[in-house]
Amino acid sequence: MTSPLPILALLFNAFVWGLAWWPFRTMHAAGLHPLWATALMYFGVLLALLALRPGLWAQVRAHPQLWLLALSSGLNNVAFNWAVTVGDVVRVILLFYLMPAWAVLLAWKILGERPTGQALARLALAFAGVALVLWPADAPAGRLLHGLSMADGLALLGGFMFALTNVTLRRLHAVPGQARMFSMFGGCMLMALAVGAIGLQAGVVEPFPAPHAGWLVTAPLLACVLLLGNWALQYGASRLPAGTTAVVMLSEVVFASVSSVLLSAATLQPRTLVGGGMIVLAALLASLQRR
């Protein structure tokens, strides 16, 4: 009998990221911007990893190509965390899940994997869904981008960077897994600090606040939960086919949508539901094709 533990591990990871918007908003309400929260949490995670595996830094330095992985995964995390903190959670999650469409284009450009006719059809389906999600109510098609908010732009950037991270991981498959994980976490911290510093100068990011119980407690707890989620993802993904993993991870959309609607952090418009359904269907078809 096949063990259900890998599936349960993936569901746990999807549940963690599907509800991550809530603690980020809690910390933001206590005065801690999501960029500073991201940098703070991953700084703690990196210290813990170095304490457990002192030789990790030497492994990372031996593979300079890991800087691309650090950049893409860092910007992915920064964009996602910022977007779910300030935007409509359902809308952000749906736009983020354009990732499989970006992956087709990036794999074509970087890995030389020419897309099939089915892949191009899924690409068109996903982008049509995005157009419906972004389309302002009672507005002509020419004013599509007028409905684009900062959170929408961050969600699209996050999905693109997530796709670039996945393609880069495939390209760096020969690099030890622990070195890749350390580079990804380090990139999250460095990119959060860099973008935060730029945003501070531009006046769109608040300064680092004085200590407050609202984030002093939440930040380390969330860091521990995210680390557990990452380990659960690696456990489940290493024991299941890639297509199965991708299908199960789509449950993040359900967790995020249900929790945000129940807690009044999102609204479900008919156009959003239809467009979101097209995006998720495109991702599901891509996952089943890989399976």
- Identify the residue whose tokens are 């407690």: 217
Contact call for residues 228 and 16 (beta carbons, < 8 A): yes
Give the whole-angstrom CA distance, residue 286 versus residue 80. Answer: 22
Helix (H) or strand (E) holding 250: none
Backbone phi, psi, residue 53, to 5°? -130, 80
Separation between Cα atoms, residue 86 and residue 84, nearest integer Å? 6
75, 161 Cβ separation under 8 angstroms: yes
Query: Which pLDDT score, from 0 to 100, does residue 141 have?
Result: 54
Q: What is the pLDDT of residues 120-165, one digit of tens each?
A: 887 788 778 777 777 766 655 555 566 678 998 999 899 889 888 8
pLDDT at residue 30, rounded to an integer? 93
Confidence of residue 33 (pLDDT cuts 50, 70, 90): very high
In this prediction, residue 243 has a pLDDT band, given cuts at 50, 70 and 90, of low
